[in-house]
Amino acid sequence: MIWQSVKLANVAIVFNGKTPSKAEQRNSGHPVLKIRDVDDSGVFKGNFGSFVDPEFAEKFSSKKINVDDTLVLNAAHNSDYVGSKQYRAEGSVVGTLPTGEWLIARADEEQLHPRFLNYWFRSPQAKFQIKHLVKGIHLYPKDVARLEIPLPPLAEQKRIATILDKADAIRRKRQQAILLADEFLRAVYLEMFGPRVCRERWPLITFGEVTRVDAPMVDPRDDQYLDMLHIGPDRIEKNTGRLLPALTARQESLISKKFLFDNSYVLYSKIRPYLRKAALPEFGGLCSADMYPIRPNEGAMTREYLWQMLLSDEFTQYTESLPARANIPKLNRTELASFGFRLPPIELQRKFSDLFRRYSVVFEASKSGFDSSNDLFASLSQRAFSGNFR
């Protein structure tokens, strides 16, 4: 069956949310849904960080969230992130006011099933089109509204949404298993090295005393480096150290020099909006100038302990306490080297590293299952919106 395609504006309304000014924000009142209230996988975190007076929310009542609205990140510091975060509104956020960084698509339910619309936005076809609509660092409702969406009969839309619901549920359960494994590792770190541990007997040192916060510089225009994997902060999943699919240096701008690293380093993002991004690579390559390749001193610190410490609340509180500098959004090398902490015995660190390696085996098995369910979901989504779904 060949489905007709219609402009999104004919079957849905598309609009931006409303960001209250600082003077209009409150510590309690009517909740506001911010971008940070939804995680990178499109799940509401369960808490609101901002509120407004009920009178303010009522003034913009047409923008309040309905169940199954599709929300899309419409502005970011970098064009690559625009459209990257999407969220299907759950009952827990219904009636809240979305900020202006959210683009909202609301289906005309007499013609378009809301969950079908949501899955269409997440489909490879729609993501490709949206990427080409970004102007600068913004995605505008009028442009999205001009996109064409395949429109099978409403009953078929519901059938497709139900199938994708089941595939998505499997994918999310396996993703949750991975997150629980990560939580376990962080819990072990806190149990062994956290603030409740009696650490006074450990030496108080600075970060620079036990690490080398640098690496040999290379010119990426040199042919021998062009095809090496290139890692930047946008290629590291927050809080987990997992590397997302990497670009090669040949696909990147070759104006600035890059760092050469091997598997003795931990990579850490120096860009302030992306702190708490650290990777423990098991291979060598090039990392962007936005990453610090950090090598722990042998015999003083293990890579696994260093990696988890960089992701710890203690280190994050330190970086967040540093004074902001106008037009310099980066954590500099001196600030990084000046971090003071209690260094645990190397034997204790090695116990943590051994546990980490055992955990990695379990994690890889969980990740394999998640990757398989992710591939299945992507395949179903591709077929669903190509009119080839039986």
* E strand or H helix at 261: strand 258-261
Instruction: Give me the helices (H) in the chain, please.
Output: 8-11, 54-59, 114-122, 124-131, 141-145, 154-193, 207-210, 303-310, 313-321, 333-337, 346-384
**Angle between helix 303-310 and helix 154-193 axes, rounded to 10 deg:** 120
pLDDT value at residue 249: 43
CATH number of 155-199+345-390: 1.10.287
Nearest to 38 by CA among 99, 87, 96, 78: 87
pLDDT value at residue 117: 97
The average confidence (pLDDT) of the chain is 85
Burial classification of residue 248, based on how many CB atoms lie within 10 Å of its CB (0-12 exposed, 13-18 middle, 19 or more buried): middle
Q: How long a stretch of residues is the chain?
A: 390
Condensed to tens digits (0 to 9), the pLDDT of residues 340-360 reads: 999 999 999 999 999 988 887
4-151 and 203-343 share one fold = yes
The tokens for 13 are 């309304």
Superfamily of domain covering 4-151: DNA methylase specificity domains (3.90.220.20)
Q: Are 366 and 178 in contact (CB under 8 A)?
A: yes
Q: In Å, how far from its chain's centre is CA 379?
A: 22
pLDDT value at residue 255: 39
Q: Are 136 and 79 in contact (CB under 8 A)?
A: yes
- Where the chain has pLDDT below 50, the residues are 246-256
Instruction: Give me the helices (H) in 20-113, please.
Output: 54-59
Report helix, strand or coil for 113: coil
Q: Are 42 and 87 in contact (CB under 8 A)?
A: yes
Please report, for the chain, the start and end positions of each structural domain, with discontinuous segments joined by +.
Answer: 4-151, 155-199+345-390, 203-343
Give this prediction's pTM: 0.64
For 365, other C-beta atoms within 10 Å of its C-beta total 12
Calpha distance 11→120 (Å, rounded): 13
Report helix, strand or coil for 206: strand
- Per CATH, domain 203-343 is 3.40.50.300: no
Q: How far is CA 35 from CA 89, 126, 224, 336, in A?
A: 13, 21, 41, 28
Q: Are 102 and 95 in contact (CB under 8 A)?
A: no
Calpha distance 222→72 (Å, rounded): 40
Calpha distance 125→328 (Å, rounded): 37
